[in-house]
Amino acid sequence: MPAHRIVVRSIGTATPAVPTALAEALPFARERLARCLYQAPAVLLDGLAEDQARSIGELLAGTGLETEVSGPGEPVEEGGPELELAVHVGNPARFREVAAEVARFLGCRVSRAVSLLCARPPVVLGRVSPATAEALRARLSPLEAQVDASRTGDAVYDVYVDPDAPELRHRLARLLEDASVEVVPEGPLVAFGVARSTAETLWSRIGADARWQLLDQAFQRMDVVLEEPAAGPDAAAAIVEVTGMLEALVERVSAHAPVVLRDAPARSPRPV
């Protein structure tokens, strides 16, 4: 009885031409195909004879897609639209290469990829699965670029406002206090560690306004700077813990303060 399935495990190294070709060859909507590929693992085809499934699977594997044939009764743990992905270019000298690779991955113009990478935060893709995050990491890590992933369901945000917009700050503060969120009394930071549900309420009430920002903590990167020489063993131990520096180097590096100890690490990494 035809009961075998073809499961897409990851988009792998497939180019944008592959989804386009599949959309023309398979009898379902392009949107469903996109979900299968970018929210993998997912069942692409079902109800096939075993030999047919294996033949199609071999053809798909040749395109760069990571697929497998699932037999009758075998469970498939499917992925979902749980992540947003941002790209941090670690080496500015390789920005052009990173932009070109992001464009290849997304199937867009390089100019569009450049715009995404220059945005703050540089979110390049949303509603994808961990398998897609890993596929993008595999492509970008040789180019000294990192992929930061945020789980949209439990994302945590910081709220910032233009210091020259006191009325907007007051309005944001009132909404946050109504949601039992502690508000910073002054400065551009209004609140730290705001839950997604509260962030969505703020967005629905305030809307798009260039004078305020909701920044996902998973995408925030800040340099770690030593302003003054480390004083004592506790300070030296903290530097080793934060930077991974050899303990023997701490005194020598510390003598050059102020000095950047670590360049733009992800502030709140979320493993996927």
Report the pLDDT averaged over residues 118-123: 89
Q: Residue 264: what pLDDT?
A: 60
Task: Please name which of 146, 149, 172 lies closest in space to residue 160, comparing C-alpha atoms.
Answer: 172
Helix (H) or strand (E) holding 212: strand 212-216
The proportion of the chain whose per-residue pLDDT surpasses 90, expressed as a percent, equals 62
DSSP classification of residue 213: E
Residue 268 has pLDDT above 50, yes or no: no
pLDDT reported for residue 271 = 40
pTM for this one? 0.78
Give phi and psi for 124, each to the nearest 5: -110, -20
Q: What is the pLDDT of residues 3-53, one digit of tens each?
A: 899 999 999 999 888 888 888 888 778 888 888 999 999 999 999 999 999
The DSSP symbol for 78 reads -
pLDDT tens across 46-81, in order?
Answer: 999 999 999 999 999 899 999 999 988 788 889 999
CA distance 143 to 101: 9
Residue 267 has pLDDT above 90, yes or no: no
Q: Output the pLDDT for position 269.
A: 41
Residue whose token pair is 């004078």: 211
Lookup: tokens for 246 = 């050899």
Q: Which residue has the tokens 């569009």?
A: 112
CA 46/CA 111 separation, integer angstroms: 39
pLDDT at residue 221 in the model: 75
- pLDDT at 174 (0 to 100): 96
- 270 pLDDT more than 50: no
Per-residue pLDDT of 159-199, as tens digits, reads: 999 999 999 999 999 999 999 999 999 999 999 999 999 99
179 in Cβ contact with 157 (< 8 Å): no
Q: Is the pLDDT of residue 247 over 50?
A: yes
- Cα separation, 140 vs 87, in Å, equals 9
Torsions phi, psi of 43, nearest 5?
Answer: -80, 120
Mean pLDDT for 196-208 is 94
Full DSSP string of 224-249: EEE-S---SHHHHHHHHHHH---HHH
pLDDT of 129 reads 96
| Cα angle 186, 270, 206; round to 5 | 40
**Beta-bridge partner residues of 83:** 128, 151
